[in-house]
Amino acid sequence: MRRSAARNVSAVVVAAAMFSVGAAAPPLSPHAAPRAKTPVKTPEAAGYGGAVASVDADATAAGIEVLKHGGNAVDAAVATAAALGVTEPYSAGIGGGGYFVYYDAASRKVHTVDGRETAPRSADSSLFLEDGKPLPFADAVTSGLSVGTPGTAATWDTALDAWGSRSLGQLLKPAERLAKDGFTVDDTFRSQTQSNQERFADFPDTAKLFLPGGKPPVVGSVFKNADLARTYEELGRKGVDALYRGELGRDIVRTVRTPPVGPDATRTVRSGDLSTRDLSAYRTKRQAPTKVSYRGLDVYSIAPSSSGGTSVGEALNILERTDLSRATQTQYLHHFIEAGRIAFADRGRWVGDPAFEDVPTKGLLSQRFADSRACLIKDDAVLKSPLAPGDPSDPTPCATGGTAAPTTFEGENTTHLTAADKWGNVVAYTLTIESTGGSAITVPGRGFLLNNELTDFSFAPANPAVHDPNLPGPGKRPRSSISPTIVLDSHSRPVLAVGSPGGATIITTVLQTLTGRIDRGLPLVDAIAAPRASQRNAPTTELEPALWNSPVRRQLESLGHVFTQNPEIGAATGVQRLPDGRWVAAAEKVRRGGGSAMVVHPAGRR
């Protein structure tokens, strides 16, 4: 593997750190040392030496341990992600994919990895049609049809090969131990299991793992996953070829093509057409990030196949001409909601996999196009949804003609992590298996769930007269809303990084967090905690309870806004660089049971 000398310490220190990480692992045997106590969750931490934030304390601790032993931000991100595959198995894992955004301190440049899942090469636009009609969404989710070629392991390999300083095998050790020794079940894990109990019960391997004794695990109990520990050990020892060209991959293909349904299940579980050829042909994509300037800062994110970077970027450009720092809370939310509505109108028409579609990324991110759309926003009135898209190639001011493209439903249970190191490198990484519990299909003997990412495709065109860029195709990546974002100052130094799970609400969550921090002056942890709104070119805007029950809602309704309640939108994490060189790690205070933020050396120590 290639390694950058600028990101590595001396060979002696590296060797010592590598030995230390390896030596820290208790033996994987029945006589292993007692399981370490779960770290206490805290939503904010400040200090030196690097930082990690995720939704889970064990996962954040795994990343911090790597940083303490001389690893860099990329190493820490991979270790954290692998641990999330243990403790957040319904959100992420090697059965899924994601998007990785990296800031390199030596070159002061931002790089990205598209690790999105791909459709089988046999797929076409009729993938989710039967007798010419779209399948019911629930039937498509719980099926082999919905499983895309996993990209997570390849993402780790790509990132480590380009920018890491540790081997995959070393970085999987903390997660391997966590899977072997177990973690403490919390309310979120139990409730997510309960919501999937009916699905999980139909697959014996899933039920055996996640429904011990036929029931969801009890809060406070220890959950172990010996199969996943062995899978991680094999992946670390053999490398990612074990998945893309080896027996692990063959196990995945067998599972997709013949889903292991229980004999008493009445559910019809359709098989998929994933092949070993699809696995061996899978490649991540190293590509340029999206970039917009906002309030004198440079905002970088992921380009299509995700719509995250283009949609957040367009919305920021729309808001650029409005002074949100002086606006009242009602005025701020009104403009934020309308900018989201417009960005989603344009996303639905123009964004798909650029390997198959002519995606006008440059046009969508141009200030000229944003200005032509921003003039639609009125201070005293609300745009009607669904709003028709604009045309980036012909940015006619305030154009309202054309046919709207509805937003495709996306599962909301993804996970996001952020990491930074003492050299100033930063990672924003969002990974997923799509819906909570993915396809509900566990690969027998392997300890992980398969994704249902292909349900992010449009099942059929909403309007046959209008081209839909998000229909299935052979080897095509479904459109995503994932928006890992890194913000740099005018000298190309990191200011903050942020991202969130939440399906299509990811875009509005990241946008609200950025404007909360940059425009409204909120501390990062408070910008993350602020009650959220989400408008996605729909007749109604979703509000969390704190906004639903506030006077602001009534003031917005007087302008014409219509709302529905959403109990929880997103679960963001972020890091921020302070002028004195400290890192601030920030996570949710309450959502998803609260997140976990840690630094290597607490404030006051270097």
Phi (first) and psi of residue 52, to 5 degrees: -140, 140
Q: H helices of 326-458, where? A: 329-350, 361-364, 367-374
Is the four-CA dihedral 90, 92, 96, 99 of positive or negative sign? positive
User: Could you tell me the CA-to-CA distances from 253 to 95, 145, 148, 201, 330 in Å, in that order?
Assistant: 11, 12, 11, 21, 52
pLDDT confidence bin for 13, thresholds 50/70/90: very low
3-state helix, strand, coil in the chain (%, to 5): 35, 15, 45
pLDDT in tens, 152-199: 999 999 999 999 999 999 999 999 999 999 999 999 999 999 999 999
Residue 404 gets which letter from DSSP? -
Count H helices and E strands in the chain, helices first. Answer: 21, 20
Cβ neighbourhood burial of 253 (10 Å; 0-12, 13-18, 19+): buried
Q: What is the pLDDT of residue 158?
A: 98
Question: Residue 534 in contact with residue 509, Cβ under 8 Å?
Answer: yes
Nearest Cα residue to 274 out of 444, 149, 135, 438: 149
Indicate the range of 4-13, 374-383, 425-434, 478-487 predicted with least confidence. Answer: 4-13
Q: What is the pLDDT of residue 533?
A: 98
Give the integer Cα–Cα distance in Å for 166 and 159: 11
Question: Residue 341 in contact with residue 390, Cβ under 8 Å?
Answer: no
Q: What is the pLDDT of residue 412?
A: 62
pLDDT in tens, 131-150: 999 999 999 999 999 999 99
pLDDT confidence bin for 413, thresholds 50/70/90: confident
Give the integer Cα–Cα distance in Å for 593 and 423: 31
CA distance from start to end of the chain: 31
Give the integer Cα–Cα distance in Å for 147 and 435: 12
Question: Residue 2 in contact with residue 162, Cβ under 8 Å?
Answer: yes
- Whether 414 is a known active-site residue: answer yes
CB atoms within 10 A of CB 181: 18
Give the integer Cα–Cα distance in Å for 452 and 148: 7
Mean pLDDT of the chain: 92
Check whether 94 has a pLDDT greater than 90. yes
Nearest Cα residue to 356 out of 469, 210, 509: 469
Check whether 447 has a pLDDT greater than 90. yes
Check whether 29 has a pLDDT greater than 70. no
pLDDT confidence bin for 409, thresholds 50/70/90: low
Query: 450: which 2 tokens?
Result: 């398969």
Q: What proportion of the chain, given as a percentage, has pLDDT over 90?
A: 89
pLDDT confidence bin for 11, thresholds 50/70/90: very low
Check whether 34 has a pLDDT greater than 50. no
234: Cβ contacts below 8 Å, ≥ 6 apart: 242, 248
Q: What is the pLDDT of residue 462?
A: 76
Q: What is the pLDDT of residue 321?
A: 95
Residue 399 gets which letter from DSSP? -
Give the integer Cα–Cα distance in Å for 156 and 161: 8
Give the integer Cα–Cα distance in Å for 120 and 129: 16
Give the residue-averaged pLDDT of 249-270: 97
Check whether 298 has a pLDDT greater than 50. yes
Phi (first) and psi of residue 5, to 5 degrees: -65, -30
Check whether 202 has a pLDDT greater than 80. yes
Our CA dihedral for 265, 266, 268, 273, rounded to 10 degrees, sits at 20
- Give how far the C-alpha of residue 140 lies from the chain's centroid of Cα atoms, to the nearest Å: 21
Q: H helices of 443-504, where? A: none
What does pTM read for this prediction? Answer: 0.93
pLDDT confidence bin for 271, thresholds 50/70/90: very high
Q: Which of 206, 290, 322, 414 is catalytic?
A: 414
Is the four-CA dihedral 4, 163, 584, 365 of positive or negative sign? positive
